[in-house]
């Protein structure tokens, strides 16, 4: 289940897309250094409006590059960072991870997965239909959110493209991811 970091992105502003960079630094308990969504409490504007004291379970956004491949095959022009992710991965089934799975990124950084990203209408501002393309239905008609996962930083460190990703599963029973 291990994989690699394909790209890293950061933005100091509350923008949908985040520019790709050659490295990012994760800060213990805060998120990505210099990113608008870093902090102990929620930073996403809609969540701050509801309750600014809520713990930030969305410090780091990860998307699997395989989603980009799927979207390109469907006619969308997407690249790392454009959908707001901080880390683009390859070779890790992010959506299949349970709550509290840990990803060791590079040699030092550890991100604990808290849940699924709930895609928003801002994706359609990038390209019409992109939000719907990040949603699906399983055989039973249940909603599938494909726009990546969210996590919190348990151990800081620098991450670069090409860094390995090691997956550590929590003790069973595993809880499936839900939107955070």
Q: Contact, 29 vs 50, CB < 8 A?
A: no
Give per-residue pLDDT as tens, 78-112.
Answer: 999 999 999 999 999 999 999 999 999 999 999 99
Q: Contact, 178 vs 142, CB < 8 A?
A: no
pLDDT computed for residue 120 by the predictor: 86
Query: pLDDT below 50 — which residues of the chain?
Result: none
pLDDT computed for residue 1 by the predictor: 56
Domain residue ranges of the chain, discontinuous segments joined by +: 3-168
pLDDT computed for residue 45 by the predictor: 82
Please report which helix (H) or strand (E) contains residue 102, including its range. strand 102-105
What backbone phi and psi angles, to 5 degrees, belong to 176?
A: -70, 155
- CATH code matching the domain that covers 3-168, chosen among 2.40.30.10, 3.90.79.10, 3.40.50.300, 2.40.33.20: 2.40.33.20
**Rounded CA separation 11/149 (Å):** 18
């Amino acid at each position: 289940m291990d994989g690699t970091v394909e790209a890293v992105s950061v933005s100091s502003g509350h923008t949908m897309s985040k520019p790709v960079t050659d490295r990012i630094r994760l800060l213990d308990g805060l998120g990505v250094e210099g990113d608008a969504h870093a902090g102990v409490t929620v930073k996403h504007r809609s969540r701050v409006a509801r309750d600014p004291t809520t713990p930030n379970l969305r410090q780091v956004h990860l998307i699997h590059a395989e989603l980009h491949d799927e979207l390109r095959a469907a006619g969308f022009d997407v690249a790392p960072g454009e959908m707001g992710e901080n880390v683009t991965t390859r070779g890790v089934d992010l959506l299949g991870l349970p709550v509290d799975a840990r990803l060791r990124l590079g040699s030092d950084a550890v991100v604990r997965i808290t849940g699924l990203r709930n895609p928003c209408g801002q994706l359609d501002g990038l390209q019409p239909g992109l939000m719907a393309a990040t949603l699906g239905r399983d055989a039973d008609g249940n909603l599938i959110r494909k726009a990546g996962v969210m996590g919190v930083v348990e151990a800081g460190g620098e991450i670069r493209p090409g860094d390995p990703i090691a997956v550590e599963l929590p003790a069973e029973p595993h809880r499936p991811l839900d939107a955070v």
